[in-house]
Copies of this chain bind each other. A is one copy, B any other.
Amino acid sequence: MSERVNVVDVTPRDGLQNEKEIVSTRDKLLLIEKLALAGIREIQATSFVHPRWVPQMADAEAVAVGIQRFSGIRFSALVPNLKGYERAIASGIRFLEFVIAVSDTFNHKNLNRSTAESLELLTQVTKLAQQDDVEIRVGFSTAFHCPFEGEISARAVVDLLRATRERSPWRIAICDTNGMAYPDQVTEVLVLAKSELKMPVTELALHFHDTYGRGLANTLAGLEGGVREFDSTTAGLGGCPYCPGASGNLATEDLVAFLDGMGYETGIDMEKLLDAAEFANGFTSRPYQGHLLLAKRAGACGVKQPKESQLA
């Protein structure tokens, strides 16, 4: 079962965007360096959003320059609109993340437009991207639950998958924005995507939060459904700005230990990843949101190399 799984670390963007204390460009790049050393091969580096809305991302151009020193890593950046697209391209970004919410209410609150309007924008951005020879991954936020609309049906997700696929040929990330997803919802979306849209699951990624401790259970449902790409943040940074107290994204170190232990190949060095997690955890005043780092600090058994040590 030594199948490859692509772990996409989204810490510098999703993990930091809600942190009040501004993290310096230097520290962001230091974190990225640590992630690169650990073997992470895809990183969401920043967001070209207006700094008035997300002050933490005001250094997007500087981060984009800084990451040029790393080779062999796919760096992406979030673009919320055409202006963001232009800034990203001008900064040399080759992989863009275009966000669209399944919940229309959430899309209005988060992006100030309807989901239908976001789809129109996607058509425009895709044409530009094809001209510019760059790639766009589309991220579906609130794909399982919306803080305003409640539960999101698999039907709504699949309809948006279809509409997106009509406009964009690239990967689509299905995101559980507030950690409320249940594994049976994940399974239902994947089953429908495969049966109705004949969509190869290799074109899908999953993005979970661990607010209710369901991050790895949802990951398991994704793996069982054939998905091999998962987003996470080092030290479990991040959260949903519309959900007070909602804790962070699924921690990269918890995800990697989980995948390693089940025999999936991630290419990631756990010791080095925990070093990155310890560093990233310094960016927040919240308690640590993941698991592995706590266990490691306390010297709990079998933490360093979960599967290896078991063979000793």
Which residues on A are within 8 Å of B, measured CB to CB?
A: 145, 147, 150-151, 178, 180, 182-184, 210-217, 219-221, 240, 242-247, 251, 254, 257-258, 261-263, 287, 290-292, 294-295, 297-302, 306-307, 309-312
Contact = CB atoms under 8 A, between A and B. Distances in A.
A289 to B, nearest CB: 10
Contact of A307 (B151, B217, B295, B309): B151
Given A178-B300, A216-B217, A243-B300, 19 more contacts: A145-B310, A151-B310, A180-B302, A180-B310, A212-B258, A212-B292, A212-B295, A212-B306, A213-B254, A213-B291, A214-B258, A216-B216, A240-B301, A244-B300, A245-B297, A245-B299, A246-B295, A247-B291, A247-B294
Nearest to A246: B300
Given A180-B306, A300-B244, A150 B213 contact: no
Nearest to A261: B182
Nearest to A216: B217
B302 A145 contact: yes
A280 to B, nearest CB: 17
B212 A257 contact: yes
Contact of A217 (B211, B220, B240, B244): B220
A262 B300 contact: no
A220 B262 CA distance: 15
Contacts of A311: 150-151
Contact of A258 (B182, B242, B262): B182
Given A182-B262, A212-B257, A298 B245 contact: yes
A247 B294 CA distance: 9
A245 B296 CA distance: 8
